[in-house]
Every structure is written in C-alpha cells, then in structure tokens.
Structure 1
C-alpha cells in the first residue's frame, strides 16, 4: 500500500539520519516504525489472558489487604512468599 503522510521536517531529517546509519531507505525506516507501533499498541490480548490469574489462590487471603500490609509492614499471620510444601534438594 502506498500512502501520503505529512511529516514535520525535523522528523524527516531524523529519519534520514537513521536510514543513513542503518544503510536503509527512509521508507524502510518508516515501515519499521509502523510495525513497532502496531506491536506496542495493537496487541493488548495479554491483558485479557492474565486477568483473574490469581483469583483462586488460597495462600493469599485478600489481595488488597496483602498490599496494604506490605505497605505498612504489618504482620498478617501468613508467610510471603509461601514456603514450598515439598523439600528442595
């Protein structure tokens, strides 16, 4: 796909500098920038996959209570991180 985009002169100069340093074309630099932008902004599926991951944990009584205790350095009567029930060798 071809497109027409207005880019400020200072940004074009910076693109040209990057292109020269990388021995690439300006178009290649722009394609790379668009690709990275879409990777950074486009894929938020990892948030949905991780939502509720710790919801059924029974070794942490209450997440908010735990956070407050950690901030206030209080003893809630449970150990963190929990010790493994199986000995390590």
Structure 2
C-alpha cells in the first residue's frame, strides 16, 4: 500500500539519520516503525507492562498491606 502523510521537518531529519545509521531507506524505517507500533499496541500483556510502576514509591510501604487497607477503606495506610 502507498500512502501520503505529512511529517514535521525535524522528524524527517531524525528519520533520515536513523535510516542512514541502519543502512535502510526512509520507507523501510517507516515500515519497521509502523509494524512495531501495531505489535506494541495490540499486546494483551498489560500486566507485565505495568508491573513495577510503584516499586519506588516511599509513601505506599508494604504493597499487600496497602491493598488490604484500600479494600477495607481504612485511612491508616
């Protein structure tokens, strides 16, 4: 399929640099980008993608205790 898209000049320049580094054409880089984007968006592995988001939070403390407090609607968590 052929398509026509408007891409900002700065993005085109970055795309050209990437294509040159990888030894591919601009079109090949765009095909890779679209393919990767669609693969990432269609993944049902949302749990793995979200795992660890709160691991550095100091205000949560023990995660299990935090969940229990939330379920019990306690204010002392």
TM-score range, shorter chain: 0.5 to 0.7
Q: Relative to structure 1, is the Cα distance of residues 10 and 69 closer, same or farther in structure 2, using a 3 angstrom cutoff?
A: closer
> Greater Rg, structure 1 or structure 2?
1
Runs of 4+ in 1 over 2 A off after TM superposition: none
Uncovered stretches (5+) of structure 1, i.e. residues with no partner? 48-65, 71-89
Whose helix fraction is larger, Structure 1's or Structure 2's? 2
Give distance in 1, aligned partners of 2:11 and 2:66: 48
Question: Paired residue for 2:55?
Answer: none
Q: CA RMSD in A?
A: 2.5
Aligned residue number for residue 67 of structure 1: 64
Q: Residue by residue, what CA displacement relative to the aligned partner does 1:32-52 show, whole Å, maximum 9, x if unpaired?
A: 0001101111222x45xxxxx
How is 1:49-64 mapped onto 2 (pairs within 5 angstroms)? none
Count of aligned residue pairs for this structure pair: 53
Please, which runs of 5 or more residues in structure 2 have no aligned partner?
47-62, 68-77
Normalising by structure 1, what TM-score? 0.52
